[in-house]
Structure 1
Amino acid sequence: MPVAVITGGNKGLGLSQSQRFIAAGYEVYIVARSRADFDQLGPQAHFVACDIAADREATYLADIHAKAGPISALVNNAGVHLKKPVWDVSPDEFDMVLDVNVRAMFASCGRYVNLHRDTGGAIVNIASMGGIMGLPSAAAYVTAKTAVVGLTRSVAVDAAQFGIRCNAVSPGFIDTDMTRAILAKDPARRDKIEGRIPGRKFGTPQDVANTVYYLASDQAAYVNGANLPVDGGYAVGF
């Protein structure tokens, strides 16, 4: 049974990703700080308690590798958002955003490559449309997600010699519980956003999960260093 590791894979977009890999027959190791929503995933899912920002060398990957063997797919999904303009972001807040969104991913990419030089594999990093375009009042987040796109390209170039591919997915406006809760307070804002999406609708968590799975699978065997937007054309049609 192939093995996938998904950080933050027990809630939000990560939960849909875990479900997609499980449906495809993967054994999925979910790395997160809490077990929220984990129990609904079934026997193919394994919980690994870890604060990825504190694990500066991604030792959790070595532990999973020692237990389960080669990891076919690593999905760096865990992330954090901060809704503030650049002049309101404190140094500690900026460090927190970078620690979770960039430094933890940097460490996991490096650890994964070192563990899989002889077996190959696939890394999928979750970026954002904030890595493609500017977003209002999100300077720290946009900085971090832009770094994710650059990291993805560099890992793709360096790790290809080991048969390891690295790609990114940039979700746009996705219809999650959190999104609905936020926009329920401002229905006019949702209408405004949908009016800017060429297809006039939000995406679903499954749209993101299917793209992540594609990039991790052999169907994308010759896709390397790509950043695939899952945004209904928002970034190009804005």
Structure 2
Amino acid sequence: MPIAVITGGNKGLGLSQSRRFLQAGFEVHVVARSRADFDTLGQGAHFHECDIAADRAADWLAAIHAGAGPIAALVNNAGVHFKKPIWEVPPEALDQVLDINVRAMFAACGRYVSLHQDSGGAIVNVSSMGGIMALPSAAAYVTAKTAVVGLTRSVAVDAAQFGIRCNAVSPGFIDTDMTRAVLAKDPARRDRIESRIPTHSFGQPEDVANAIFYLASDQAAYVNGVNLPVDGGYAIGF
């Protein structure tokens, strides 16, 4: 049974990712700070409590590898959003955003490659449309998610010699509980956003999960170093 490791795979978009890999017959290891909705995943899912931002060497990944064996797919999904203009971002807030969104992912990618030089595998990093375009009042977040895209390309080039591919996805506006809660306070904003999306609709969590699964699968065996937008065309719309 192939193994997938998904950070933050117990809530939001990550929960859909875990379900997608389970449906495909993977053994899924979820790494997160709390169990949240993990128990809804059922058989085949394993939980590992960890603050990945505090583990600068990604020892958590080495522990899973030692206990379960080679990891076919690593999905670096865990992240944090931060919405303030650059002149209101204190240094400690920037550190937190970079620690979770960049440094933890950087460590995980490096540890994964070091562990799988003989077995190959696939890494999928979750960026954002903030990694493609500027978002208002989100300088720290945009900086971090842009770094994810650069990291992905670098890992793709360096790790290809070991049969390891690395790609990224950049979700746009996805219809999650959190998105609905935020936009419920301003229904007109949702209308404005949908009017700009060429498909005129928000995406579903499964849309992101399917894109991630494709990039991690053998169907994408010759896809390496790409950043795949899952945004209905938002980033290229008007």
TM over 0.5: yes
Give secondary structure in 2 for the equivalent of 1:75.
strand
Q: Give 1:106 deviation, angstroms.
A: 0.2
Q: Give 1:237 deviation, angstroms.
A: 1.0
Equivalent position of 1:115 in the other structure: 115
Separation (CA, whole Å) in 2 of partners of 1:38 and 1:234: 31
Structure-to-structure mapping, 1:212-223, within 5 angstroms: 212-223=212-223
Equivalent position of 2:97 in the other structure: 97
Using structure 2 for the length normalisation, give the TM-score.
1.00
Separation (CA, whole Å) in 1 of partners of 2:164 and 2:236: 30
Equivalent position of 2:227 in the other structure: 227
Matched, 1:134 2:117: no
Equivalent position of 1:8 in the other structure: 8
Separation (CA, whole Å) in 2 of partners of 1:128 and 1:183: 18
Deviations 1:145-173 (A, max 9, x none): 00000000000000000000000000000
Separation (CA, whole Å) in 1 of partners of 2:64 and 2:223: 26
Query: 1:84 is aligned with what amino acid?
Result: K
Number of residue pairs matched by the alignment: 238
Query: 1:116 is aligned with what amino acid?
Result: H
Q: Give 1:21 deviation, angstroms.
A: 0.1
Q: Percent identity?
A: 80
Structure-to-structure mapping, 1:70-219, within 5 angstroms: 70-219=70-219
Q: Give 1:43 deviation, angstroms.
A: 1.7
**Contiguous gaps of at least 5 residues in structure 2:** none
Separation (CA, whole Å) in 1 of partners of 2:62 and 2:182: 38
Query: 1:148 is aligned with what amino acid?
Result: V
**Contiguous gaps of at least 5 residues in structure 1:** none
Separation (CA, whole Å) in 2 of partners of 1:232 and 1:135: 17
Matched, 1:56 2:56: yes
Deviations 1:196-237 (A, max 9, x none): 000100000000000000000000000000000000000011
Q: Give 1:100 deviation, angstroms.
A: 0.1
Separation (CA, whole Å) in 2 of partners of 1:39 and 1:199: 34
Give secondary structure in 2 for the equivalent of 1:78.
coil
Query: 2:166 is aligned with what amino acid?
Result: C
Deviations 1:58-110 (A, max 9, x none): 00111000111000000000000001000000000000000000000000000
Give secondary structure in 1 for the equivalent of 2:118.
coil
Query: 1:151 is aligned with what amino acid?
Result: L
Equivalent position of 2:67 in the other structure: 67
Separation (CA, whole Å) in 2 of partners of 1:43 and 1:53: 28
Separation (CA, whole Å) in 1 of partners of 2:24 and 2:2: 9
Q: Give 1:124 deviation, angstroms.
A: 0.0
Separation (CA, whole Å) in 1 of partners of 2:181 and 2:52: 27
Query: 1:97 is aligned with what amino acid?
Result: V
Moved over 4 A (4+): none
Deviations 1:99-154 (A, max 9, x none): 00000000000000000000000000000000000000000000000000000000
